[in-house]
Structure 1
């Protein structure tokens, strides 16, 4: 399994904050978008955690910055935060992206009728672990959800960390205890 470390620059909750990735030893920086393989194993994907469970800062891979660090998303010049949905604070899962993927803004999706959002494909890890920002997980896919966000197709891939104690019981969006996980 590949090991990665992260290094913070700038202050949290500012537009200057960046989280850089390196492989194995400090000083050799990599891009979480281009340099982490899409596959960890056969049918197992890598996922980069952008927003850990129960946190609010809407972090994302900066696809246009050199080395593609994580940074907080801005909308109309303001830092973006995820709304709380009572009784929870922030995201109810670890939210992130699959490296080396891209939703093509020039391709109209046959299912949604909309074009891609120009970002890596999003993942929602429903495992029990509360991850840290920048953590790289090995995940298996349980299902997908197509959202349309401001007229763009935005796929969410529902995954579980293969190291989760429940992972082998989940294959698709039902468990062997047959309750539906999300909806």
Structure 2
């Protein structure tokens, strides 16, 4: 079992303002062998119930000031492409797979793995049936992504609280894939970073590096460079928060049955959801997963090799 414990909040689904009801804590539990196809990270709440990090951890911690929960899928400087398994019951974190092989992000010089703590805001859904009025593209069918720019390297699966300062609109193979820029509220720089402009002042070059990273990271896989809406400009905090709220509304509508979603929807805490299950059913789901075992050695060269993408292919 992972050693960290996170203190968060539990709430009831509502189309109105969040109803924050009581303090909860979350414990992440590993199953399977790390660096293999069967590795998973599941979650428990303070009552000992297994929960879905996508559906049962609230998106919003507080409304004023506005603070969000973020599930860290990928710690900074690592390469394993971990993600919330949207199609699996209880939505554990797992490593993405392509053609039967675990996926790793290439080290595109001078970047080493992911250059931020990377994760998602729970209870959000970038609806693939909705064409965004600004980007002209539909959503990518995932929870909305967050690049957390604080100084601490998070643990895989950790749940932190972030303040949002802006967003980048990446267009990935014809889909809108929002990249929210946020900072851990407990970071030493958090009081000084309240806008995209503050990021550039406090961490000069980080926003340019982020845009470059997203532009080139798939080129070593033989894919073209990604492009962006708004000429690659970052949108401000207000725009970002409106975008997050929209993806939360899509998630709410998917649980009410108004919108059809292909996620695994089982949950414990969402009282208005058509897909709520009890603790026994959730435990049964987890017990079907293999027990935690020793990690396999990573043999994929992408985890260590340098790719001089921008220099050799002239994509920037």
Query: What corresponds to 1:124 in structure 2?
Result: 147
Mapped contact 1:122–1:156 kept (Cα < 8 A)? yes
State the distance in 2 between where 1:182 and 1:85 align. 16
Greater than 6 Å deviation, 4+ residue runs: none
Q: Which whole-Å CA distance do the structure 1 matches of 2:205 and 2:115 have between them?
A: 16
Match of 2:299 in 1: none
Question: Aligned equivalents of 1:56 and 1:177: distance in 2?
Answer: 25
What is the SS of the residue equivalent to 2:43?
Answer: strand
Alignment match of 2:134 (pick from 111, 120, 132): 111
Alpha-carbon separation, structure 1, partners of 2:200 and 2:110 = 25
TM-fit CA distance, 1:177: 7.9
TM-score using structure 2 length? 0.55
Q: 1:182 aligns with which of 185, 204, 207?
A: 207
The equivalent residue for 1:142 is 165
Find the aligned partners of 1:176 and 1:32 in 2 and give their Cα distance.
Answer: 29
C-alpha distance in 1, partners of 2:55/2:122?
7
Query: Deviation of residue 85 (structure 1)?
Result: 2.8
Counterpart pick for 2:35 among 8, 13, 17: 13
The alpha carbon displacement at 1:180 in A equals 5.7
Which runs of structure 2 are paired with 1:159-170 in the superposition (5 Å)? Answer: 159-170=182-193
Higher helix share: 2
User: Over the residues paired in the alignment, what is the CA RMSD in angstroms?
Assistant: 1.6
| Aligned counterpart, 2:51 | 30
Secondary structure in 2 matching 1:45: strand
Question: Which segment is superposed worse, 170-179 or 110-119?
Answer: 170-179
Separation in structure 1 between the aligned mates of residue 37 and residue 30 of structure 2, nearest angstrom: 13
Instruction: Measure the CA separation in 2 of the matches of 1:113 and 1:65.
Output: 30
Corresponding residue number in structure 1 for 2:115: 92
Structure 1 equivalent of residue 177 of structure 2:
154
Query: Structure 2 vs 1, CA of residues 119 and 177 (structure 1 numbering), >3 Å: closer, same or farther?
Result: closer
Q: Does 1:57 pair with 2:80? A: yes
**Alignment TM-score, normalising by the size of structure 1:** 0.94
Distance, in Å, in 2 between the alignment partners of 1:169 and 1:7 is 35
- 2:22 is aligned to none
TM-fit CA distance, 1:176: 8.3
Q: Could you tell me how far apart the structure 1 residues matched to 2:78 and 2:140 are?
A: 23
Relative to structure 1, the CA distance from residue 150 to residue 5 in structure 2 (aligned partners, 3 Å threshold; closer, same or farther) is same
More strand by share: 1
Question: Which is further off, 80-89 or 8-17?
Answer: 80-89
Residue 181 of structure 1, CA deviation = 3.7
In structure 2, the CA distance between the partners of 1:65 and 1:173, relative to structure 1 (3 Å rule), is: same
Q: Following the alignment from structure 1 to structure 2, what is the Cα–Cα distance between the partners of residues 134 and 171?
A: 25
Q: Is the 8 A contact 2:123 2:143 kept in 1?
A: yes
